[in-house]
Amino acid sequence: MSVFRTFGIFALAFAALAIVAVIVTRSSASTGGHNLTPMAYMAAGAIVLGVGLLLHHKWAAIVFAALFGCAGLWVGVGSIGKVPFPWLFLNLAFGCVLLLPGIITAWRWSDLERDRSDKRRGKPDEERPTGRAL
């Protein structure tokens, strides 16, 4: 199993968790509880992203890496001036972990789907370049 399929499974698991949270809190929202209905839009986006990652689409890998990269930079840079000293290192470590999908995407870019025009022309897989250096 490739790392992008693993990312897709994580995105679909997040979507399932978000849908469950929306369903569970729907009845209590009218009585003053939390209204998590807008989270359903995030779940729909996560489903689209997860399916795209499972199918090895480049756009899905770019969006996934960009979302996690922005979150990692936000946590890391945002905590520098506002978080007390010992907890700062935890936030910086968490921010660095959130940057990993971008690094992995750049590292494993050649594993993603090739140009679809080659598939439409009927070229066999062995005629297409793999993009990997030996």
- Tokens, residue 107: 């590292």
Report the interhelical angle of 3-29 vs 58-80 (nearest 10°): 70
Residue 30: pLDDT band (50, 70, 90) is confident
**Domain-wise residue ranges, the chain:** 3-116
**CA 22 centroid distance within chain:** 20
For the stretch 34-53, pLDDT in tens is: 888 899 999 999 999 999 99
Please compute the mean of the pLDDT values over residues 60-81 and round it to a whole number. 95
For the stretch 88-128, pLDDT in tens is: 999 999 999 999 999 999 999 998 876 454 455 555 555 55
Task: For residue 110, give the DSSP letter.
Answer: G
For 33, other C-beta atoms within 10 Å of its C-beta total 11
